[in-house]
């Protein structure tokens, strides 16, 4: 598994999203998925305090017992855990970090990310609190998620010289959602930020398992009500065209989805969830296709950037 720079860290080009832990799979299944990921060369684990109603961090911490040094652990704060635990006020940043450290059963977080902008708090205040966490050794690097290019620029301007600064942004990006190409990816290049795409498989539509005639497989992520936006008629049509394109070149749609994202210069790690060791292994081996210039042009035709 190739490793790529993420600030001072070195992360596997395929990462494991941990939002299924505590939501779709239990403690034992989580342990099996995490073990399979480490064995496959995946070292980057991305969770958040809200995932699985805080259970994701707990399950991940237990699954990494005895193997913590092999892992790069990223988590997030800022979305509402409950009515009181939310936002980016400095006093809450400190509490949220301590809570995550306890749940993860670790004394440091490799990448601590603000899950979403908090318009009620000056970003300079949040950055100051995050810098204190880095200085205290509780956090190695800091990042953000769901930020626009304008918000990334604002954060860069608010960063005190010599202080900790965002080294990454984690936003949705896939062959079916190319909006980051408009402004966020150029901002990453300009500011020297790494990009971490989430929903790289459009919640399962780009796995190649979706059948337009039968709909989403039972118990799949696409069967959940909140994922219905992924299965629009347009998206299904594009996914089927991309699937045929990949098959004609003896590849799967899954390999296309991962390899195409991994080819983007700013992408450090492609974060995808898994509920079984088999899914982990499939994801880990899916970055083996280097597309030609002609391939990329055809992909742009089939999945236009708008």
**DSSP 8-state assignment for residue 306:** -
Report d(CA 291, CA 261) in Å as an integer: 11
Virtual CA dihedral for 237, 229, 13, 186, nearest 10 degrees?
A: 90
DSSP letters of 134-156? HHTTSEEEEEEES--HHHHHHHH
Active site residue 51: yes
How is residue 250 annotated by DSSP? T
d(CA 194, CA 237) in angstroms, rounded, equals 31
Q: Where are the alpha helices (DSSP H) in 200-232?
A: none
- Interhelix angle 90-104/55-63, rounded to 10 degrees, is 40
Query: 262 is written with which tokens?
Result: 């991994």
**Residue 305: its pLDDT value, please?**
79
pLDDT at position 238: 95
Token couple for 192: 């020297």
The whole-angstrom separation of Cα 16 and Cα 108 is 19
Give domain limits for the chain.
3-202+255-289
Question: Each residue of 254-282: pLDDT tens digit?
Answer: 999 999 999 999 999 999 999 999 999 99
- The band of 203, judged by pLDDT with boundaries at 50, 70 and 90, is confident
Contact 101, 139 (CB under 8 A): no
- Joined tokens for residue 105: 């059963």
Going by C-alpha positions, the residue among 251, 271, 252 that lies closest to residue 262 is 271
Q: What is the pLDDT of residue 139?
A: 98
Rounded CA Rg of the chain = 19
The count of other CB atoms within 10 Å of the CB of residue 95 is: 14
pLDDT tens per residue across span 46-81? 999 999 999 999 999 999 999 999 999 999 999 999
**Residues 206-221 pLDDT 10s:** 998 877 766 656 665 5
Q: Tell me the CA distances in angstroms from 9 to 56, 58, 176, 202, 247, one per residue in order.
A: 22, 23, 29, 27, 35
Q: In which element (H, E) is residue 58 found?
A: helix 55-63
Q: In the block, which residue shows the tokens 């079984």?
A: 276
User: Are 74 and 114 spatial neighbours (Cβ–Cβ below 8 Å)?
Assistant: no
State in words which class domain 3-202+255-289 has.
alpha beta
**pTM for the full model?**
0.94
Listed in sequence order, the residues at least 6 apart from 221 whose beta carbon sits closer than 8 Å to its beta carbon are 24, 203, 204, 227, 273
Model pLDDT, residue 210: 75
User: For the segment 117-153, what is each residue's pLDDT rounded down to a tens digit?
Assistant: 999 999 999 999 999 999 999 999 999 999 999 999 9
Q: Tell me the three state secondary structure of residue 209.
A: coil
């Amino acid at each position: 598994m190739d490793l790529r720079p993420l600030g001072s860290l070195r992360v596997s080009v395929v990462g494991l999203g941990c939002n299924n832990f505590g939501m779709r799979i239990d403690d034992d299944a989580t342990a099996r998925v995490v073990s399979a990921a480490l064995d496959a060369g995946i070292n980057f684990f991305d969770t958040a305090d809200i995932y699985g109603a805080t259970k994701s961090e707990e399950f991940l911490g237990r699954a990494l017992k005895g193997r913590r040094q092999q892992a790069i652990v990223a988590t997030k704060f800022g979305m509402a855990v409950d009515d009181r635990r939310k936002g980016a006020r400095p006093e809450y940043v400190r509490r949220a970090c301590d809570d995550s450290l306890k749940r993860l059963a670790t004394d440091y977080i490799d990448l601590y990310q603000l899950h979403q902008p908090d318009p009620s708090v000056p970003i300079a205040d949040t950055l100051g609190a995050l810098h204190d966490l880095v200085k205290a050794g509780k956090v190695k690097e800091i990042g953000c998620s769901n930020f626009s290019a304008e918000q990334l620029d604002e954060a860069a301007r608010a960063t005190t010289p010599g202080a900790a600064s965002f080294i990454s942004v984690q936003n949705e990006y896939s062959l079916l959602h190319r909006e980051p190409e408009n402004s966020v990816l150029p901002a990453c290049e300009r500011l020297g930020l790494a990009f971490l795409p989430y929903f790289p498989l459009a919640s399962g539509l780009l796995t190649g398992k979706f059948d337009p005639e039968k709909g989403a497989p039972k118990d799949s992520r696409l069967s959940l009500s909140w994922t219905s936006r992924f299965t629009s008629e347009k998206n299904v049509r594009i996914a089927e065209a991309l699937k045929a394109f990949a098959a004609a070149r003896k590849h799967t749609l899954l390999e296309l989805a991962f390899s195409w994202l991994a080819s983007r210069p700013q992408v450090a790690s492609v974060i995808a969830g898994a509920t079984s060791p088999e899914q982990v292994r499939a994801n880990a081996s899916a970055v083996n296709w280097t597309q030609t210039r002609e391939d990329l042009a055809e992909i742009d035709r089939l999945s236009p950037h708008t």
